[in-house]
Amino acid sequence: MTFAAPPPYSGRLNTLVIGGRMDADRALLTPRGELVHGCADALAEKLAQLPASTARVDVDMSGVHFMDTSALQFLDVLRDFGHRRRLPVTATRWNGQPRRILELAGLDTTDPLNSPTPARPAPLASAVAQERAEQLHVLQEEIEQLRHAIASRPVIDQARGILMATHGCTSDEAWHVLREASQRSNTKLREIAAAVTAGATPDGPRPPEKLRQALSRALSRHRSGAGGGPGRGRVS
């Protein structure tokens, strides 16, 4: 028996789709995509479709390539389902970024549903709760940084291509020029790249004076270091 996947969430490029099949009385679920906001609801809907005769649920997580702290709700839904139905539930085969998040959260990367939760005295439990909250905050910051890096990558790659075509530098040299200009002008790398990209169009705005000077100095230094002699011109 195979279960139909739920429709993808609107407005997202990377969605969570949960496939499933029955092997006798064992259900095998196969999530694909991201564990983000809404993933717990999608899982609850999928679990509600399982036959009453289901005696075991195994979730293969190898198709999940990204997750944020919403994954903890996803795991809670799985755990609660197993407790309510009194049947074994596993979530295995984690890899990549999701596995790293489990490590940072102090969970078992083989199967986080098996992570022990021993009884603790009240003061210690409070300290553990505070530590867990701090860990979640760190996770959220790391995830936000990853999302910013992913969003910034296209414009940075475009700026590198423009510098390579305009000034005859290599891809690595263009990267170092952007980084050095960012440091010299105390400007975010993405803003430097966006200014270079916008200024490359015929009617595009010129980069601010501070950025032009920082880019020109970085280009001059890298041309001198490469022994390339005079370049093809200053940043316009």
User: Would you list the domain boundaries of the chain?
Assistant: 2-114, 127-226
Per-residue H/E/C for 140-202: HHHHHHHHHHHHHHHHHHHHHHHHHHHHCCCHHHHHHHHHHHHHHHCCCHHHHHHHHHHHCCC
- Please say if the pLDDT value at position 117 is more than 70: no
Rounded Cα gap, residues 236 and 141, in angstroms: 36
For 72, other C-beta atoms within 10 Å of its C-beta total: 18
- Please say if the pLDDT value at position 12 is more than 50: no
**What are 56's strand-pairing partners?**
26
Structure-model confidence comparison of residues 31 and 218, the more confident one = 31
* Site of tokens 């009453």: 52
Q: What would the mean pLDDT of 1-7 be, rounded to a whole number?
A: 46
Rounded Cα gap, residues 80 and 86, in angstroms: 9
The residue type found at 206 is: R
Q: Residue 37: which pLDDT band, with cuts at 50, 70 and 90?
A: confident
CATH number given to 2-114: 3.30.750.24
Q: What would the mean pLDDT of 21-40 be, rounded to a whole number?
A: 93
**What are 29's strand-pairing partners?**
20, 59
Q: What are the pLDDT digits (tens) for 163-205?
A: 888 888 888 888 888 888 888 888 888 888 888 888 777 777 8
For the chain, counts of helices (H) and of strands (E): 7, 6
